[in-house]
Amino acid sequence: MAQPNAPVKPATPDTISEAARLLRAGRLVAFPTETVYGLGADATNGEAVAAIFAAKNRPDFNPLIIHVADAEAAAALVEFDDRAHLLADNFWPGALTLVLPRKADCSVSLLAGAGLDTLAVRVPAHPTASALMAEANTPIAAPSANRSGEVSPTIAAHVAQSLGDAVSLIIDDGPCAIGVESTILDLSGPSPALLRPGGVTEDDIVAVLGPIEHASAKTIDAPRAPGMLSQHYATHIPLRMMATKVSKNEGLLAFGPAPLEGGAMMKNLSPTGDLAEAAANLFAMMRALDRPELDGIVVMAIPEIGLGMAINDRLRRATHD
């Protein structure tokens, strides 16, 4: 659980070990990177990832950047092609995030990637971040450690002001060297596209890779950037919200202790009505019910509060009207 005011501790080997233990136990830890401070959670733990969205107060589930210790660890999660290898050789560790197709057996929670088939991965260069990634020995989902609507923090005191009550530990290693977020390059399509300018310059990338597109130049038919345009997980079969009944050929996405009766198949987001648990289960359960033999998916009402707003936002985006 979060505590009123997280301790802010200097980046010693002991602090890093404590942070790695906390992360593995599903807690949130704020840590320095060379770009900005990150709000980290074990990316393989859906509930820990849900806690990030709750802490940041994000109006919706943007996909998160997954931080790993080295390119080999990244290649275990996503499909590396020649371009990815070339960029990793030139810019990792460093302020470049690559968006690549998820591997079929990728261990990262679907929630961390907002249910998309791609994942953003980065190997941070900051020695404290590197040591933490290596010791935690699990991929770390980490957005910038600020609440939604605030600028990214570049010193530990900013993190403490913004998120001190939501994290278990803040590692202080002075100001971030880069101070702007990483450059995000989408390699999931045939031509590389710049989704966000950042710590590694476009010229540097072009020098290695040749010309790249800008996401803003893309047509509305080919959105690539969640948050910028609305490419989010949508079910293949119709999805209906606020359901009060379910017919025999429909799948039920239930919430709470009293699921509706009937239906061909049922998944309960949280039998106890816990929104963090529901958020952690959302994308996996939507996928489980998205079966061609069903007429559709009906979803019980989910309270429009806290993480429920993010859950409902994603469900609305998945409806077919």
Size of the site for ligand TXA (CB under 6 A): 26
Q: Quick check: 101 binds ligand TXA (CB under 6 A)?
A: no
Q: Quick check: 279 binds ligand TXA (CB under 6 A)?
A: no
Binder of Mg ion out of 97, 128, 144, 162 (CB under 5 A): 144
Compare residues 140 and 300 and give the one whose CB is closer to ligand TXA: 140
Tokens found for residue 215: 């996401």
Minimum Å gap between C-beta 314 and Mg ion is: 19
Q: Quick check: 235 binds ligand TXA (CB under 6 A)?
A: no
Dihedral over alpha carbons 63, 75, 152, 128 (to 10 degrees): 140
Compare residues 38 and 115 and give the one whose CB is closer to Mg ion: 38
CB atoms within 10 A of CB 57: 17
Query: DSSP letters along 123-141, please?
Result: ----HHHHHHHHHH-S-EE
HSE, side-chain direction, 13 A CA sphere, residue 308: 16
Q: Quick check: 15 binds Mg ion (CB under 5 A)?
A: no
Closest CA to 76 of 95, 48, 100, 40: 100
Compare residues 146 and 168 and give the one whose CB is closer to Mg ion: 146
Closest CA to 75 of 13, 3, 28, 139: 139
CB atoms within 10 A of CB 220: 7
Q: Quick check: 99 binds ligand TXA (CB under 6 A)?
A: yes
> Which class for 72: exposed (0-12), middle (13-18), buried (19 or more C-beta within 10 A)?
exposed
Minimum Å gap between C-beta 218 and ligand TXA is: 12
- Kindly identify the residues of this chain, within the stretch 59-98, that bind ligand TXA according to CB under 6 A: 62-65, 97
The window from 144-152, 234-242, 291-299, 306-314 that contacts Mg ion (CB under 5 A) reads: 144-152
Minimum Å gap between C-beta 39 and ligand TXA is: 8
Cis link prior to 93 (omega < 30° from 0)? Answer: yes
Minimum Å gap between C-beta 314 and ligand TXA is: 14
The window from 127-135, 142-150, 206-214, 237-245 that contacts Mg ion (CB under 5 A) reads: 142-150
Q: Quick check: 312 binds ligand TXA (CB under 6 A)?
A: no
Q: Quick check: 183 binds Mg ion (CB under 5 A)?
A: no
The window from 44-52, 140-148, 167-175, 208-216 that contacts Mg ion (CB under 5 A) reads: 140-148
Strand partners, 184: 97, 196
Alpha helices in the chain (DSSP H): 13-24, 46-56, 71-75, 82-91, 127-136, 156-163, 202-209, 275-289, 307-318
| Spatial separation of the C-alpha atoms in residues 153 and 158, rounded to whole Å | 5
Q: Which residue has the tokens 């816990």?
A: 274
Say which entry of ligand TXA, Mg ion, none residue 62 contacts (CB below 5 to 8 A, set by partner kind): ligand TXA
Binder of ligand TXA out of 68, 98, 116, 171 (CB under 6 A): 116
Convert 170-205 to b/e letters by CB count within 10 Å (16 or more is b). bbbbeebebebbbbbbbbbeeebbbbbebbbeeebb
- Kindly identify the residues of this chain, within the stretch 170-209, that bind ligand TXA according to CB under 6 A: 181-182, 184, 195
Binding site for ligand TXA (CB under 6 A): 33, 35-36, 38, 62-65, 97, 99, 113, 116, 118-120, 122, 142-144, 181-182, 184, 195, 225-227
